[in-house]
């Protein structure tokens, strides 16, 4: 088999393979927009290769020129399809790119104009000054006397190739994870056709044979292999990326060496500051605090991390990534921001534990915390706390005379005074109705009595205003003490304080009575 025969077989095979590839890809066109353009590019190369095959086996010049003109129908459309592929295959920000792709389809007018320009060369001679057959060759080969239009056409084709390739390089630089490999494959597929086209223009191939259709076919086979093995042009990875970027959670993908290989938009925005340089590096190197959170968190633990200068709470979930053989390939970390949820929960807990009118603890919450404190003292067999109970005097008369709004205002005023006088360690609550209670940790009966007196005087010195008239407020106080050494329960101490408070009421109100065997009433 001679060189020419082998070449003819290669061109014939290129035409067949490109046609088959075009049909196979066309059947999958619904799964991805770039596949429509790829199918068109394969079909354009099939037209190119078939026309060139008939050109080199034509019996005369007239037939060869006819198929030469037909070659441009395939050759000129190929780079336009390549540009559309480069712009349509971009998983990030897919919606905006689709609009650009629609606008770029105006480029179809370029190959139409090129074909019209070539096909009318017999009138203007701007593409070829003359076309004649080369003699003494085993194939039909046209001798070209190239004109200015020929170079303009080929320069346009090369510029279109390069435009698509530049866009593909841009996509490659911005790509993450598996998409980077796919873009590298696309770039590799375009190198050979551009190189062989330049060889054709320089006429360095024996007999000036056109090997560009063969190079396009080889690139087509490479792309189809990528479709089968690397999900090239598949919507699944594109859709997966869109879903990940739409998630409110931050997603990080690390390989077995703890290097960051992928992330979603939320992760890049919150933690990586959109720094592409962190990919391929270990998180312990680029973001040590984040890595510490990953390693120290439980399967679904909570961590507090700084975001934009503020501390935010996240839950961390992690899942191993395995291949088809169930071998570990890395780890996926999912960070869910629960800062607002934690804030809502704290607010609900506060509302559930507090009195809505005064802002102090409610009866239930006070009893729970007081019981916990008493249990703690019993366990350590040491320490004490004092209890202060007081009730507003003649509160029913305030409600009956001035209305419940005045009574509510009096309760709010007293609640404010209690909060202002109490220490951070004290438990203060509205015990029920117009009755209030305080637990003072580590406070003796004498100190609690003095504190109760200060609070009683503060209440007596304050008043509310109703209808422009001041309304005075007083309260009766009872004080008791609890310690594990006393041999009584804290509930008994509570009853002692309550009894002392009622003694204060009986002794004329607006006074403080300690819970002792010989009650003392101090009245102002």
Residue 267 corresponds to which tokens in the numbers above?
A: 């992760």
pLDDT value of residue 183? 76
Indicate the domain borders of the chain. Answer: 3-234, 247-343, 354-523
Average per-residue pLDDT in the chain? 85
* 408 in Cβ contact with 419 (< 8 Å): no
Strand pairing report for 475-482 and 511-514: parallel
Residue 244 pLDDT greater than 80, yes or no: no
User: Is 230's pLDDT higher than 50?
Assistant: yes
Cα 498 from Cα 438, distance rounded (Å): 12
pLDDT digits (tens, 9 = 90+) for 463-496: 888 777 889 999 999 999 999 888 888 989 999 9
CA pair distance 484, 376, nearest whole angstrom:
10
| Chain length of the chain | 524
Q: At 441, list the tokens.
A: 């940790």
Neighbours of 215 (CB within 10 A): 23
Least confident of 192-196, 305-309, 364-368, 421-425: 305-309
Q: Specify whether domain 3-234 bears CATH 1.20.1070.10.
A: yes
pLDDT digits (tens, 9 = 90+) for 332-342: 888 888 888 88
Tell me what the mean pLDDT of segment 248-268 comes to. Answer: 82
Rounded-to-integer distance, Cα 29 and Cα 10, Å: 28
**Helices 395-402 and 404-421, interaxial angle, to 10°?**
140
Sign of CA dihedral 461, 462, 464, 469: positive
* pLDDT above 70 coverage of the chain, percent: 90
pTM: 0.52
Q: CB–CB of 241/266 below 8 Å?
A: no
Q: Indicate the CATH number for domain 354-523.
A: 3.30.70.270
For residue 429, report the phi and psi dihedrals to the nearest 5 degrees. -145, 155
Where do we find the tokens 């990080």?
A: 252
pLDDT category, 222, cuts 50, 70, 90?
confident
Residue 152 token pair: 């303009």
At residue 287, the pLDDT reads: 82
Higher pLDDT, residue 252 or 300: 252
Number of H helices and number of E strands within the chain? 20, 15
d(CA 38, CA 31): 13
Helices 3-27 and 33-56: angle between axes, nearest 10 degrees: 150
Helix, strand or coil, per DSSP, at residue 469: strand
Percent of the chain at pLDDT > 90 equals: 43
Contact indicator for 386, 441 with CB cutoff of 8 Å: no
Q: Indicate the angle between helix axes 109-119 and 77-88, nearest 10 degrees.
A: 170
Name the CATH superfamily, with its identifier, for domain 247-343: PAS domain (3.30.450.20)
Average pLDDT, integer, range 119-131: 94
């Amino acid at each position: 088999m001679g060189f020419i025969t082998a070449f003819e077989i290669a061109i014939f095979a290129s035409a067949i393979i490109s046609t088959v590839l075009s049909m196979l890809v066309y059947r999958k066109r619904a799964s991805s927009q770039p596949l429509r353009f790829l199918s068109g590019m394969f079909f354009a190369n099939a037209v190119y290769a078939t026309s060139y095959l008939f050109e080199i086996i034509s019996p005369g010049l007239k037939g060869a020129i006819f198929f030469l003109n037909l070659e441009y129908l395939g050759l000129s459309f190929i780079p336009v399809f390549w540009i559309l592929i480069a712009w349509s295959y971009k998983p990030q920000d897919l919606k905006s790119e689709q609009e650009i792709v629609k606008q770029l389809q105006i480029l179809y007018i370029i190959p139409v104009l090129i074909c019209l320009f070539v096909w009318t060369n017999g009138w203007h001679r701007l593409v070829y000054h003359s076309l004649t057959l080369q003699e003494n060759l085993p194939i039909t080969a046209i001798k070209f006397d190239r004109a200015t239009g020929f170079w303009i056409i080929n320069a346009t084709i090369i510029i279109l190739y390069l435009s698509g390739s530049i866009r593909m390089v841009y996509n490659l630089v911005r790509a993450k994870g598996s998409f980077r490999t796919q873009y590298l494959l696309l770039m590799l597929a375009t190198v050979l056709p551009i190189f062989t086209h330049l060889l054709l223009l320089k006429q360095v191939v024996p007999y000036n044979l056109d090997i560009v259709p063969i190079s396009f076919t080889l690139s087509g086979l490479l792309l189809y292999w990528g479709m089968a093995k690397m999900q090239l042009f598949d919507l699944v990875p594109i859709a997966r990326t869109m879903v990940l970027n739409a998630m409110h959670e931050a997603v990080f993908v690390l390989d077995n060496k703890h290097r960051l290989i992928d992330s979603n938009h939320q992760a890049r925005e919150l933690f990586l500051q959109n720094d592409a340089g962190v990919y391929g590096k270990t998180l312990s190197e680029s973001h040590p605090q984040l890595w510490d959170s990953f390693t120290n968190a439980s399967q679904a633990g909570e961590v507090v991390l700084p975001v934009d200068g503020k501390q935010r709470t996240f839950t961390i979930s992690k899942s191993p990534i395995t291949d088809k053989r169930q071998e570990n390939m890395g780890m996926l970390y999912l960070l869910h921001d629960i800062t607002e949820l934690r804030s809502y929960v704290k607010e609900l807990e506060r509302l559930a534990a507090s009195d809505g009118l005064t802002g102090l603890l409610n009866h239930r919450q006070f009893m729970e915390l007081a019981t916990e404190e008493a249990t703690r003292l019993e366990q350590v067999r040491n320490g004490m706390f004092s209890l202060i109970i007081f009730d507003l005097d003649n509160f029913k008369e305030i409600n009956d005379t001035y209305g419940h709004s005045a009574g509510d205002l009096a309760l709010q005023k007293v609640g404010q005074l209690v909060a202002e006088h109490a220490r951070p360690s004290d438990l203060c609550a509205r015990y029920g109705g117009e009755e209030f209670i305080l637990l003072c940790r580590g406070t003796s009966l004498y100190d609690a009595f003095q504190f109760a007196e200060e609070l009683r005087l503060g209440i007596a010195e304050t008043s509310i205003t109703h209808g422009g008239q001041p309304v005075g407020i007083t309260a009766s106080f009872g004080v008791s003490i609890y310690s594990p050494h006393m041999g009584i329960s804290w509930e008994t101490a509570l009853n002692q304080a309550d009894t002392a408070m009622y003694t204060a009421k009986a002794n004329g109100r607006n006074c403080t009575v300690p819970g002792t065997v010989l009650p003392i009433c101090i009245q102002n």
